Structures are given as structure tokens and as C-alpha cells.
Structure 1
Amino acid sequence: MIKKIIAVFALVVSTVAFSQENNASPYSFYGVGDLKFRGTVDTRSMGGIGILPDSIHLNLQNPATYGHLKLTTFTVAASMSNTDFKTASQTDNASRTTLDYIAVGLPFRKIGFSFGLMPYTSVGYKIRSTDTEGGFTRERQFKGSGGLNRAFAGVAYRITPSFSLGADMQYNFGNIETRSITDITSVGIQYPTREINRSDYGGFSFNIGAVYQKKITTLLNMYASATYTPRGSLNSTTNREIASITLNTSGNEAVVNTPITAKFSDNNVRLPSKFSVGTGIGQERKWFAGAEYMFQESNELGNRFDNITVAGFETAHRISLGGFFIPNYMSFNRYLSRVTYRAGLKYEKTGLIINNQAIDDYGFTLGLGLPLSGTIGGSNLNIGFEMGRRGTTSAGLIQENYMNFFVSLSLNDRWFIKRKYE
């Protein structure tokens, strides 16, 4: 009963937690921000591969895996990131701690359900640029915050013991606020100009998946997985305010005239389609090794400032390799033998191009699945670590060297048991 109360309470308060500023990347300037959810802690610790159906873990990347749950599963995760930003001449650093997702899975024989909430994208940047042209100097400041959250509900059905199909329905919602200040000197312009845009988004999307598993020898199992996300759309409403301001040495702003306001609506903000396929082999409750490939069509979402023309989008690709090893799942006297050891590699072409440079992301991951004593069904604490690099210092761009630490709690219990005695 306590676990049920915890799950309901966490779902209620998580909307507030997801609204925190959880990004510091200048690359979140483009589109609707950085993609935030990259898998649950256990899959992310294996390079992000979402292939395995699991009886005690929720795989939120492929809804077909819900049909393999044996126990009611509640999971919640948080992460801490530390990023070093590097240009050809400067360095900087930023850290963030965020709640990553919260979800519940419910098994009913051959059918599995899941629902939850997670961040979908995040925006968080501060950029300053100065250029001189035609005898005057222009200084520009950009700041953005916010992002989109995703509430989802999914169902899966085990058509045969080897083959499952599933689907998620997702509602994406949130807001993004951007601020730009332009200060032009040497041409008689007294005050800087500030533009504030607040965009509110909302819309549905879908995700379908399939999982196949088969014994190929007495001990070895083969797994295959595929997911497809059709192109989606969002409705957006943007409120814009333009005003002349004063800036003091502390950066405080004061409006000196009546702001000009406007309101815009767009009922066709496109989300790109995505397809993934993966396969692997392993021995149940012993080891697994697999690979996954993801393809995403070119993003049609440009940056939120029309006069920035140095950026564009191309198709995105990601290759992930990973697996796990459990020394002895049934060991009673050696705790470390029951720990799940995970590792993985990833390489991603993000699809973002700036100054004719593709922004790529690659790294490696490590993780542990720690069984919790005194719990039933394999409840555990999952810990993961990711180190990687995104971007480049070429063409005046920024290279991000990041370290991410993430942790999740996966609790398993039997919620629906028919009593034999009253």
C-alpha cells in the first residue's frame, strides 16, 4: 500500500519537478531544445539500447516490452550532469541535477500497461556575441529556458510467447521562453532593444514497437526489437514583447517605453518521425550483448530567431552497443555476484549543422544494478555513468565534454492477487 501511495504522489508532484531549468547547452538554442529522455537508467547504462524485454524493469523505449512484466513495477530516476564547454580560446563549466522520469507498469497475464511522465526536450542557454560592421558595434545577448514534457500511456500484448506488439500514446506539453537583447553603439541609438518570446506547446504523438525472442540453443536466446514513431505535430501560441531598456553594470533591466506586444499561433509545428531496430543474444539472468540503430528524419524546427541563418538540420543517426553480465543471479552469500554489471558505447549524428559543421555526439557508459535486500521480485537500485563529447571547436563552435551520473529506483510488488481466504 505504501508503494501505491508513493507512486501516486510522485506522479502528482513530478510536473513541478520537470519544470526546473535542466539544461546548460548552447545547442539547445535550436528547435525546441535538446532531446532529454535517452532511456531508463538500466538501458542508458548499456549505451542506450532498448532491445530487452524484462520482467522486473520498465523499458520505456519500446512499448512492446510492457507485455513481459511479471510484477507491478514503479520506477523513478534522477541525474546529475557536469559539462565543460570549450572554444578555440575559452572554457567554462556548468552542472545540473534533474528528475528524469517517473513511471508505473502493470501486468495482466499476456497484457501489460504502463503510464508515466518524463521530460521530452529542455532549453537552457546564455549566449553573448559582438560584431563590428559599417562603423558600428553590435552586442547581442540570448537567453532561453523551459522545454517540453511528455505524459504517456501504453499497452502491449504478447501474441505468442516469443512475439509482442505494443503502442504508446503521448501528450507533449510545455513552454519555452527566449530573451534577446541587442545593443548597437556608435550610431546614435540610445537604448538597447529587448525581445521576449514565450511559446506554449501542446500536441499528441505515438510510438509503436515489436519485440521477438527465441531460444537458439539450450542456453542462448536471440532478441530482436523495432520501434517506429510517426511524424507528429504540436500546436503553439507565442506571446512576443519588444521594448527599449536600460542596462546597469549588474545586468539589471528597466523598460523605458511602452512595450510592443503581439501574439502568434501555429497549429502545425512538426515533430520528426523516428525508426529504430536492434538485435542481440544472451543467456537469461546471466549475460547479454546487443546493438541498436536509430534513424530520425530531418528536423523541420528551426531556431527561434529568424535572422540566424548559419544553422540547419539533416537526418540523424545513432549506433549503440552494450550489454550486461551477472556473475551468479542465485548466489545467497555473495552480494557482488548478484549485482548486474552494465557497459556500452554510442555514436550519434545529432542532425544539427552549424557553420557547415555537423554536431556529433559520442561516448561510453557504465552501470550497476544493485539488488535491494528484503524486497520481493527483484527490486533494485540502478546506478549509471556516462562520459562523452558533443560538438567541435572548429568553425567558431563549442565543444561539450560531459559526465553524467544517473540513478533510478525500481520497485516491484504484486498489486493484484486474488485472495484464497477471506
Structure 2
Amino acid sequence: MSNNYKRVSRVAQISLLAMSLAAPAAMAQGFGNSPYSALGIGEPLGQANVTNLGMGGIGVSYASPFYLNSQNPALLARRSRFTVFEVGLLGQSKQLGQRVLDAQQSQRDFGANLSYLALAFPASSRWNMAISLRPYTYVDYQTRQYGRIPGTIYEAEYTYSGRGAINKASFSNGVRLWKNIYLGAEMSYLFGNLTNNSDSRVLINSATDVQVTRIDRINYSDIVWRLGAAWRPKLSENWTLNLGATVDPQTRVRARETDIYQQVLSGQSLSAPDTLRINQTGAATLPRNMQFGVSIERNNQFMVGVDVGLQPWSQFRTISDQPGNLRDALHVAAGVEFTPKSTSTRYWDLVSYRAGFQYNKTPYAVDGRQLNDINGSLGVSLPVGAYLVNHVNLAIVGGQRGALIGSQIRERYIRISLGFSLNDLWFRKPVID
């Protein structure tokens, strides 16, 4: 037993080191221009792995024993005795559109990044643990506007940009208490920084342009929690009902803010930078997030389910305890998964196919209208390697957020997620033949 735990400890240390080395890459890159990421603490990325994304992102009530589910920590205990290491990559192609003065303006954009790293392993027949690293939110935007300065003949250029990410390193535990009842908890450390810039430039001529620059940088670091539960009663010999729920309690995340203001003439400072705030401490309030799921499955072969999520982002408060002008969010998703014959040894019998649909009422509002995000998804898992226990996972999501109404920005996007699930049977007792 002591040797098993020494091995668990050694692997956990190596994995945490790898994740810490990967963290700067996750922080340095975004997923493409997203103007709405300027609001709140950036664009939330969710907990779904590639396999979940292919079926609408559902996973609160359902977890296959062959793949890692990161959405409900309780369902870690449903995993088999295999240890699994997963890597996910995400690329996004997006078309931005907006109606300005009865003319439609558009822009194409692309971004890609590491989506997650995760390792799950059994501690006993009833208890599984996992460690993971993933982006929690990201900020990546740049917009430019022009306008005449009132009372003058000069025009001004206004540039707004932002960059950064908050990352999430998690340690999760799932326990099977009785035959069909599961409980779990996830402790996560949020860390990272978000930088927002605003530049105002008076366009006189290239030699005498006057520019006012303001840089606001906030560093976040704190611990947050997620609790989960699941119940899997048998309906018959072949069919099982799955019920699941998770809650992220409302929490205050510690942060430090530095806000700098400076005037520049033709690239030369008119005065020393004026530091409005330097390392001013505070805490941002993140609202609770509740997720509920129900699904029905047949012997690891067929599953159909629905997830619903509620998060009152109107309760969000900035580090200076100001409202973030956000609305309460609603998330509804439906998905299906089919594997022809999970107990077969034939290759095509072990391929898993998925499809899903999402409707999201986002926390963003423009001109008094709350934005909707609607998308559909397809996914597949291909077995590879010895005994066909490893998988290459692929998910494609296509959808639209916002509409060409008023000053809304419409985003039409295609997201391609690629993941790898590597399974191995650890802690086997030696057998003398």
C-alpha cells in the first residue's frame, strides 16, 4: 500500500510541475478577438472536456468509464481502475459583424490555445482523484473608434484593448458512498492577470499628435470550491437513470490592481506616469454557479441527457466593489452519445459518436437586450494503441452569439477541439506465472 501512495505522490508532483510549466503558455495566448471579454473578469471557458463538447457540453449527470469527466467531481468515482492522462487543444475561427450607419462591417479572426491538462487515478475501488490545469477566463480584444472633438476641428482616435487570462489549477476527489450514490469536491487555485488599455489620440499630424494612455492591470489569486453529487438508480437490467448536480458557492477572489495614466506627445512623455493605484488590494465577488443534469443510458452503449445551469452574474462585483453591468445567465444543453458495442474487440464497434445542442442566455447586454448564444456540436472518439484503450477525441462546435441589431456585435464561430486520452492500468499486483 505504501508503495502505491509513493507512486501516486511522485506522479502528482511530476504532473503539477508539467502543468506549472504549461501555465505561462495558457496565460500568454487567447482564443481570438472577443469584444465581450472586456466585461467582468473576461470570457468564461467552462469545464467541458473534448468528449463532453461533442455532445453539447453535457456532463453533470453522466460520465463514461472510458473518458475523464471534469464537470462533476462526484463522477470521478465512476471511473474504472485505469489511470488516465488527457490533453485538450482548442482552435476557434470567428467572424465578427456589426451594423454601423446602415452598413455592415465584418472581420475574421482566429485563435488557438491549450484547453486543458488533466490526470485522474484511483486511490481505491470507491475513490478516484484528479489534478488538472485549464484557462478559467480570458481577455483578448482590440477595438478602434474615431470621432470629432467637440468645439475643435480635430479628430480623435480611441483604441481599447485587453489581454490576459485567469487560470485554474484543480485537485478533485470523487467517492462512491453506496452502490448508486456519489459525492465529490474540487478545490481550485485561480491565478493570473488581466490588462486593459485605453488610448485617446488627438490627430493633428504625425509629428504633433497628443496621446493619453491608461493601463489597468489586475492580478488575481485565490482558492475556490466546487461540490458535486450524483445518483444512478437502475431502471432495468439494461437501463440506468443518471441524476447529478454541482454548485460553485459565491466567493470573493483576492486581487491586486495597478492603474497608470500618462500623456504622450509624438512618442515622448509630457510628464512622468501618474499612478492612480499601485498594488491596491481588494476582492472581486464571483456569483454562485448551479448546474443540474439528467440522463438515461444503456450499458455504456447509448446515452441521451440534458443539463441546465444558472449563474446570477448580476451579483458580480469588481475589485473596487462596483457592479459589472452583467445580467443573470442561463445555460441549457442536450446531447447524445452512441458506441456500437463497448464490449467488442472490433475497431469500429468501439468508436463513440456524439451530437449536441446548446442555448445560452449570456451575461452580456447591449442596448438593453441580453445576448443569446446558440450552437450545435458533433464529436467522435477513435480508439488507438494496444488493446484500443486509448483514444483520439475530436469535437466541432458551430454557432452564433448576438445579432445585427442596434450596436450589438454578432459573432459566428466554429470551434475545433482535439484531445487525447491515454489510459494505463497502474498498481497491478505482480503475478508469478
TM-score normalized with structure 1 length: 0.91
- For the Cα contact (< 8 Å) 2:284–2:318, is it kept in 1? no
Which of 91, 106, 114 is residue 80 of structure 1 equivalent to?
91
Task: Write the distance in 1 (CA, Å) between the matches of 2:298 and 2:14.
Answer: 34
Question: Would you say the 8 A contact 1:32–1:301 is kept in 2?
Answer: no
Structure 1 residue runs of 4 or more that deviate by more than 6 Å after TM superposition? 302-307
Q: Does the alignment pair 1:325 with 2:333?
A: no
Say whether 1:154 aligns with 2:172: yes
Select which of 267, 271, 274 maps to 1:260: 274
Q: What SS does structure 2 have at the residue aligned with 1:11?
A: helix
User: Partner of 2:66: helix, strand, or coil?
Assistant: coil
* Aligned residue pair count: 410
Question: For residues 20 and 147 of structure 1, what CA distance do their matches in structure 2 show?
Answer: 8
Q: Which residue does the alignment assign to 1:217?
A: 236
Residue 260 of structure 1: how far off its partner (Å): 1.1
Residues 363-391 of structure 1: CA distance to partner in whole angstroms, max 9, x if unpaired? 00000011113146x22111000000011
2:337 aligned partner, one-letter code: F
Distance 1:394 1:191, change over 3 A: same
Contact 2:40 2:326 in 1 (8 A): no
Is this contact kept in 2: 1:37–1:100, CA < 8 A?
no
Question: Quick check: 1:102 aligned with 2:117?
Answer: yes
Deviation at 1:75, TM superposition (A): 0.7
Q: Structure 1: where are the runs of 5+ without partners?
A: 248-252
1:259 Cα deviation after fit: 1.1
Tell me which residue corresponds to 2:329.
316
1:337 aligns to 2:349 (yes or no): yes
Residue type matched to 2:222 in 1?
G
Residue type matched to 1:367 in 2? G
Matched ranges for 1:101-250 at <5 A: 101-107=116-122, 108-132=124-148, 134-136=150-152, 137-184=155-202, 191-246=210-265
Q: Partner of 1:374 in structure 2?
A: 386
Task: Give how far 1:55 is off.
Answer: 2.0
Q: For the Cα contact (< 8 Å) 1:30–1:302, is it kept in 2?
A: no
1:17 aligned residue: 25
Q: Distance in 1 between matches of 2:130 and 2:149?
A: 57
- The letter of the residue matching 1:227 is T
Partner of 1:250: none
* Contact 1:204 1:232 survives alignment (8 Å): no
- Structure 1 residue 355 displacement after superposition: 2.0
Distance between the aligned counterparts of 1:83 and 1:303, measured in 2?
29
Which residue of 413, 417, 420 corresponds with 2:428?
A: 417
Supply the distance in 1 between the matched residues of 2:251 and 2:396 (Cα, whole angstroms): 32
Q: Aligned with 1:258: secondary structure?
A: coil
CA distance in 2 between counterparts of 1:418 and 1:337 reads 31
Separation in 1, partners of 2:268, 2:408: 32
Shift of 1:241: 1.7
Q: Which runs of 5+ in 2 are unaligned?
A: 1-6
TM-score normalised over the length of structure 2: 0.88
Kindly indicate whether the alpha-carbon contact (under 8 Å) linking 2:98 and 2:410 is maintained by their aligned counterparts in 1.
yes
What's 1:354 paired with? 366
The answer to whether the 8 A contact 2:282-2:320 is kept is: no
Name whichever of 361-370 and 256-265 sits farther off. Answer: 256-265
Matched, 1:55 2:69: no
Q: Aligned AA for 2:30?
A: N
CA RMSD of aligned residues (A): 2.6
Give the 5 Å matches for 1:366-405.
Answer: 366-375=378-387, 378-405=389-416
